[in-house]
Structure 1
Amino acid sequence: MGIGRTDVSSHSSNSSETKPWVIMVPGVIPGEKVVVKIFRNFPNYSEADLVEILQASPERTVPPCPIADACGGCQWQHMSISLQREWKTRLVQEALEQYGVTYSEIQPCLGTDETLHYRSKLTPHYQQPAKSKRGVQNEKHIEAIGFQKQTSRQIIDVTECLIATPAVNAAYQAARDQLLSEPSTKKKGATLLFRQANLDDDYVESDHRVFLTTVVDGLKFTYRAGNFFQNNYYVLPIMVQELVAQAIKGDQMTHLADCYCGSGLFALSAAKHFDRVVGIEVNDLAIEEATTNAVANSISNVEFLSASAEGIFKVIQDFPRETSVVVVDPPRKGCSEEFLEQLYTFSPQRIVYMSCDPTTQARDAAGILKAGYSTTYIQPFDLFPQTRHIECLMVFEKKV
């Protein structure tokens, strides 16, 4: 048991003259004085539970969810929205400074007033029912359906998720009631799916193979319910508009390459501003969806290819470098070295990089700057309020 002051988001640090020691504590706010109990030690840090708050931050709030302290789905419900966004901006800043990325300013984290009931997709889980002493599966009711706890892989029972839309919650609760009332037919646990295509339609799909159509900024995007598509329809149009605005800034760009294009969201949204657009995605099903979406929206100047991101540079050899934009939206692990080396060799005038992980984005940004670019714009987005997750847009311009 110990007392410390928190220095960083979700951490508290105890220092001595010889060696600083980091203690990871969920549910705290920088500047608070707290009592914690350490339950696990690692070579460079410890994990602890919050026991008591001796001096609370003025930004501390009562979590709207009664199980927020235990559920791993939301990590920041104890913080005001203004402080959440302040810290998301700061975490982007810290990541950039860690990798020595130079920039002029970071825009304040951008979000909307919809900080609850915004999520259009929910994927709760349940675990395998307990076995009898003889190792035979019991005809037993499922004990919990929900999400992993903050400190373990154990499932915590969730009756309602306050960040999911009302329609998604209604569908989840109906399915949950049915599953809990019957003996489990699954030998193993399962992950459920509940996805709403549009906020003005309460229909929710639970079959990952079924096609849904979502309208974003006037364009229709069709995709399989189980495939990737952003699930905050309040912030998504703002994010798309901002990316497109940065891609076309200056009215001199003529060609766009969209790497990791998915079902074509960014490529098709920007297409009307460019002479030619090429999108590439390793997922064959996503490319089928992107091609279908181009036809459905009567967009004819876009070509979609199924290949790894590195493959795009063979296709765009004839793109004029001085008026070309490359959009990069990689998975959480960031871009591969092979991709970045080919990007540097291609040397487009502008790189527009959207990321869901500020740390890997900052790592890649450091390499981009060394390749002869400067950072011209940084915009974090609060796509997932009440959680620690951040989307961040960075723009790089080729130095003269």
Structure 2
Amino acid sequence: MPSLEHAREHACGVGGRRELSAPRLRADTPERAGLDPVKLGRLAAAAYDLTAGARPWAAGAVVLAGRGPVIAVAEASGWAVRYASYDPETDTGVELPAAARVPATVDTPFDLASLTKLFTSVAAVQQIERGTLGMDARIGDWLPEFRAAAAHGVTVRQLLTHTSGLRPGLPLYDCPDDRAALALLRAEAPVSAPGAYRYSDLNMLLLQHVLERITGRTLDVLVHEGITRPLGMTATAFGPCPGAAATEDQRRPWAKAHRGMLRGVVHDENAWALGGVAGHAGLFSTARDLAVFCRALLAGGSYGPARILGPDFVDLLFTPPGLGFVLDRPAFMGELAGRGAAGHTGFTGTSLVLDAATDTFLVLLANTVHPRRRPPDDRPRATLGTLLSRAVI
């Protein structure tokens, strides 16, 4: 079995089946992408607004957008590392000296947070395509030791669509070790009848265990060998990722664990408790790599000579209500929503949207939790989506 270190060595600074070659991404003018240059200029300007002012939406941000195989906007603003700590008495960040700050660049890796769920979902659909996993298979058939979920007949489809009835999360971070965390997860039963939508990190954690059981490989290896390596996403991997943008000065009571200022290690406390590789969080990546991921899905599962999914199974990902992906959510997609756009957000400030109707994609990476988490605010994300939608010719 390939090791975790083997998977990591290709990312953070350190083959898919073949079909007809799909065009690779290239940087080019808005006109070549079929985008209005004036309107797209407003999107580029809005990227800088994300990090402006005394209390910016994010310390640092990278915005990358395009249409077809063309990247027409790639802008970075603010700081990958700006603060040494957070001062709760003044409710402000303690800024580093200017010489010690690290500017954000278009190549800065960020903690993807819940965008990790999209990779877990693609890994699951790959197994569905290969016939090793059924959409309506009961997880108890694979994981009988997950007694509570098995007793309720939870299925793979319910995990992928967040309709299992499992609650949003568990305090795995309070367990003394990963064995205790696993025992807590195995004993967790749905809190409502399966069928109704209830967004839950636990769905992707159970799905991770299903995938690892049926393949005999860990999730990090599945993502590397099935998605990032064939697509050439060399900057995408589970952490640690020392060059990543900083996230939070994580301390109680506002956080769930006392870990200090985080950089290059996963922000999510449960993913941290599980060793950094989790179905719901843990991946680090760059905007360029995520653009490749978007492009491959928009092209029916292929990028260059690599193929990670067949077109029918890409369509399955985006068939309502969506498998892992969120569909047509104006709250963070803006006017890109409404035609079948798919995407997701991450708690650290990340998001991606791909719109098959216009063949456009939008990637936003930011560290909104640096130096401390705040209530989510999707309005800047929605603004970017609207500006890209209006730029489409």
TM-score by length of 2: 0.25
**Greater RCO, CA 8 A, separation 6+:** 2
Q: Which has the higher helix share?
A: 2
TM-score by length of 1: 0.25
Q: Which has the higher strand share?
A: 1
